[in-house]
């Protein structure tokens, strides 16, 4: 059996870096340090990056992947002015840590996108780097920042400003000082390269490193270039992203040559060093946490007070779609640490097949609405309840996490509060697809958009001129009509005490009667409230009057609160909910 990956912390005690060590079952003198991309690209590539680390370890090369400082589960604020220096320093710390844990004497670095830019800087400063692989590399910081800025402009339908001194793209931010530092990095103008073999893996659909490779060869560098497919699929939304196996195979085929060139002989490490499993800094204590399932395990990070404060309250944060436990734009990490400083225990969970939790036996990876997900949440809540100091458990999720947290309460999980942010459905059956054009949330959203434009002359001109897909419009109206007709019939069935399938009224009444407080947070334009009112009717306002339910709206926010100012409003609302829930 291959060794299980080990979650750990390394680097400075005051600024710990979080990573995963993938040990090899066979001894080696060559290890692999993996430098991940930045921001939105990292969210998409995370699961595939994890697979590369596992494949390397299985092939005999111990691997260490890590979250750069100020990102992921590592310490630090995304807006730190010295983030760039911290990123480069973390590569050095990761190399030292992998050598300490595995006993390897030589290291291969691999960087994806901006990770290649950072790995290159570190490789220039070391003499134990046996090789550097750069996948779809960023060679110019200035050009990369222009790309991020263009992507941000293209993705935003409304002009929402950024806070002063903040650069943001895809929901991730950096300070002007960090941006300025990155813009000064240009590998093509540096005039020097790491003194080790280089592997440049170019994108098949947008090749552009051949000229750079020629320039590197002209200054004496040893360079191999591959142009391979797979990059566009790697960078799709996390629930759609595909592993670029042809790229990973090329990296793995390149490593044995480095091992032979090092001239070292593999030896068994006599007494492997132990990883650091707990990190304490700035009033917070964090450590990995594992929840046992009948057929597997779920990985999580728990945040607590480092000062011994203990409120007895546990917050359970669930995956937002296929985004790993850091949450959209890392907002879960920021909230968890702030709440931990107040004395609350906060658990950021990866459900099976998501983030860093393995899929259950026989189940595929990256299934957002897994048939086992609700039961997994119930199991985790039961284990948290069994902790001696736990008085209350509050579950929070966005999108699919909102669904799974709400359904866990419906299934009888012992929770005190459910916070559901932008749910896209209240009922899910295997075989359904949120991508279907007639999915309930899409029908609700489209009908809301059509109603809001009824008085807009431009909309009518578009309809008359044939600019509207009438077949789709008829299908939308038909589905909305069926839902409208069904509502009073379902009410009659409840009155007659007949069974009603997918009955949100009964579910809301059931959990509120048990004393569970329910909070819905919805961005304007998102279909969550429309679905809630369509399926629960007047009960929503009735429960709100009784203070068993709250409904909060956000203006100028999208489904995952991409913009910085929108996230600040979300955090403010969640802090108020937590303050209310934990003082009951």
The model's pLDDT over 545-571, given as tens digits with 9 standing for 90+, comes to 999 999 999 999 999 999 999 999 999
If we measure between CA atoms, which residue out of 546, 552, 554, 547 comes closest to residue 581? 547
Domain 282-427+502-581 fold: Rossmann fold (3.40.50)
How do residues 260-311 score in pLDDT, each as one tens digit?
655 444 444 445 689 999 999 999 999 999 999 999 999 999 999 999 999 9
Q: Which long-range contacts (CB under 8 A, 24 or more apart) does 500-505 make?
A: 502/426, 502/427, 502/535, 504/426, 504/427, 504/532, 504/535, 504/536, 505/535, 505/536, 505/537, 505/539
Q: What percent of the chain has pLDDT over 90?
A: 78
Residue 480 has φ and ψ, to the nearest 5°, of -65, -40
How do residues 38-75 score in pLDDT, each as one tens digit?
999 999 999 999 999 999 999 999 999 999 999 999 99
Q: Over 70: is that where the pLDDT of 247 sits?
A: yes
Domain 6-261 fold: Rossmann fold (3.40.50)
Cα 170 from Cα 55, distance rounded (Å): 29
Per-residue pLDDT band for 207 (boundaries 50, 70, 90) equals: confident
CATH 3.40.50.1820 range(s) for the chain read: 6-261, 282-427+502-581
How do residues 134-186 score in pLDDT, each as one tens digit?
999 999 999 999 999 998 888 765 557 788 889 999 999 999 999 999 999 99
pLDDT value, residue 267? 45
Which residue has better confidence, 156 or 105? 105
- Cα separation values, 441 from 164, 532, 536, 562, Å: 35, 10, 15, 20
How do residues 460-477 score in pLDDT, each as one tens digit?
565 566 665 556 656 555
pLDDT value, residue 473? 52
pLDDT value, residue 266? 44
Mean pLDDT, the chain, rounded, equals 89
- Which range, 252-261, 435-444, 526-535, has the best average confidence (pLDDT)? 526-535
Residue 23 has φ and ψ, to the nearest 5°, of -75, 150
Q: What percent of the chain has pLDDT over 70?
A: 85
- Of 108-112, 245-249, 330-334, 431-435, the range with the lowest mean pLDDT is 431-435
């Amino acid at each position: 059996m291959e060794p299980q990956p080990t979650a750990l912390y390394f680097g400075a005690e005051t600024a710990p870096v979080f990573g995963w060590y993938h040990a090899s079952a066979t001894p080696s003198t060559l290890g692999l340090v993996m430098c991940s991309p930045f921001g939105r690209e990292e969210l998409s590539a995370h699961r595939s990056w994890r697979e590369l680390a596992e494949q390397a370890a299985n092939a005999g090369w111990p691997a260490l992947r890590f979250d750069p400082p100020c990102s992921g589960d590592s310490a630090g604020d995304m807006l730190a002015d010295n983030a760039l220096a911290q990123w480069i320093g973390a590569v050095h710390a990761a190399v030292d840590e992998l050598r300490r844990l595995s006993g390897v004497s030589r290291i291969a670095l691999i960087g994806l996108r901006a990770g290649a830019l950072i790995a290159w800087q570190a490789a220039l400063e070391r003499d134990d780097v046996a090789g550097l692989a750069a996948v779809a590399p960023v060679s110019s910081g200035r050009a990369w920042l222009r790309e991020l800025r263009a992507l941000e402009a293209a993705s935003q339908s409304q002009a929402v400003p950024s806070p002063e001194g903040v650069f943001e793209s895809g929901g991730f931010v950096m300070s002007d000082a960090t941006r300025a530092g990155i813009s000064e990095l240009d590998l093509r103008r540096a005039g020097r390269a790491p003194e080790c073999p280089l592997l440049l893996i170019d994108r098949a659909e947008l090749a552009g490193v051949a000229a750079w490779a020629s320039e590197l060869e002209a200054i004496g560098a040893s360079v191999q270039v591959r142009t391979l497919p797979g990059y566009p699929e790697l960078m799709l939304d996390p629930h759609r992203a595909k592993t670029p196996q042809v790229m990973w195979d090329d990296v793995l085929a390149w490593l044995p040559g480095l091992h032979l060139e090092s001239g070292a002989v593999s030896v068994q490490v006599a007494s492997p060093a132990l990883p650091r499993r707990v990190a304490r800094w700035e009033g917070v204590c964090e450590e990995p946490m594992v929840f046992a399932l009948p057929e597997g395990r779920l990985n999580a990070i728990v945040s607590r007070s480092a000062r011994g404060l203990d409120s007895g309250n546990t917050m359970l944060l669930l995956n937002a779609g296929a985004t790993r436990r850091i949450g959209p734009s890392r907002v879960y990490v920021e909230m968890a640490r702030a709440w931990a400083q107040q004395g609350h225990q906060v658990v950021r969970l990866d459900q099976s097949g998501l983030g860093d939790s393995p899929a259950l036996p026989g189940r595929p990876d990256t299934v957002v609405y897994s048939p086992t997900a609700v039961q997994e949440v119930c199991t985790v809540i039961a284990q948290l309840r069994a902790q001696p100091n736990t008085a209350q458990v509050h579950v929070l999720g966005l999108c699919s996490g909102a669904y799974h947290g709400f359904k866990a309460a419906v299934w009888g999980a012992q929770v005190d509060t459910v916070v559901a942010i932008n749910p896209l459905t209240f009922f899910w059956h295997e075989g359904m697809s949120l991508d279907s054009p007639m999915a309930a949330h899409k029908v609700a959203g489209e009908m809301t958009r059509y109603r809001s434009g009824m008085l807009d002359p431009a909309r009518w001109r578009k309809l008359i001129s044939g600019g509207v897909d009438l077949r789709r419009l008829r299908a939308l109206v038909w589905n909305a009509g069926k839902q409208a007709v069904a509502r009073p019939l379902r009410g009659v069935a409840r009155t007659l005490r007949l069974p009603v399938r997918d009955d949100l009224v009964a579910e809301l009444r059931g959990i509120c009667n048990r004393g569970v407080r329910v909070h819905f947070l919805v961005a304007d334009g998102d279909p969550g409230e429309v679905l809630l009112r369509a399926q629960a009717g007047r009960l929503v306002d009735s429960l709100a009057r009784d203070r068993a339910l709250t409904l909060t709206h956000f203006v100028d926010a999208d489904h995952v609160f991409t913009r910085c100012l929108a996230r600040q409003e979300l955090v403010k609302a969640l802090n108020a909910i937590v303050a209310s829930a934990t003082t009951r």
